[in-house]
Structure 1
Amino acid sequence: MAADTLLTFPCDFPIKVVGRGDADFDALVIAIAQRHAPDLDLTRVLGRNSRHGNWRAVTLVVRATSQAQLDALYGELSAHERVTMAL
């Protein structure tokens, strides 16, 4: 069996999402993440503004069960107009 990923599932996987510093950016990121990881632990979500408040970074840790799950989550995050980048 060939491995398509170096990850061993299930695993805790951190994701950082950056976008404009709008008030509801955290809620947007959480809503998208919960569609792909319904068991998202909200205590493992951290939002932080840039120094001047123009940008917002949200770091969350999802319990990843497969590469397909992560690909779908990254795809939806990256496609959203309010998300500048997802790492």
Structure 2
Amino acid sequence: MTQEFSHDEEPQEDLFNFPCEFPIKAMGKTVDGFAQTILDIVLKHAPDFNAGTMEMRTSREGKYLSVTCTIRAVSRDQLDNLYRELSAHPLVVMVL
């Protein structure tokens, strides 16, 4: 049996089986409030995230800080919205 798609619709295959554990890392300059800002955004999209599991690492010279939050992702939309909001924040240099 073959699947037919209109020209507007392409088959979409998710790489993840939801729900799943998903690490998201945000990096920015080491400034007061950076980690709290990231935590606030993460909690907006993943209210069950345990802040105690947040990992922080500074760069060798201390200029940059990376914050990793492993959330319980429930949908692709959730991840996309979280990524968009983190990426758009002026304190965030990069999101992985």
| TM-score (ref. length: structure 1) | 0.93
Q: Which residue, out of 23, 46, 63, partners 2:32?
A: 23
Q: Tell me which residue corresponds to 1:63.
A: 72
Alpha carbon RMSD of aligned pairs, Å? 1.4
Structure 1 stretches of 4+ with a deviation exceeding 6 A read: none
Q: Give the gaps of 5 or more residues in structure 2.
A: 4-10
Per-residue deviation, residues 12-56 of structure 1 (Å, max 9, x unmatched):
100111000113211010000000000111232111111111100
So what's the TM-score if we normalise by structure 2? 0.85
Is the aligned partner of 1:14 residue 2:14? no
Q: Which has the larger radius of gyration?
A: 2
Q: Give % identity.
A: 43
5+ long unaligned stretches in structure 1: none
Give the residue type in structure 1 aligned to 2:71.
V
Structure with more strand by fraction: 1
The count of corresponding residues between Structure 1 and Structure 2 is: 87
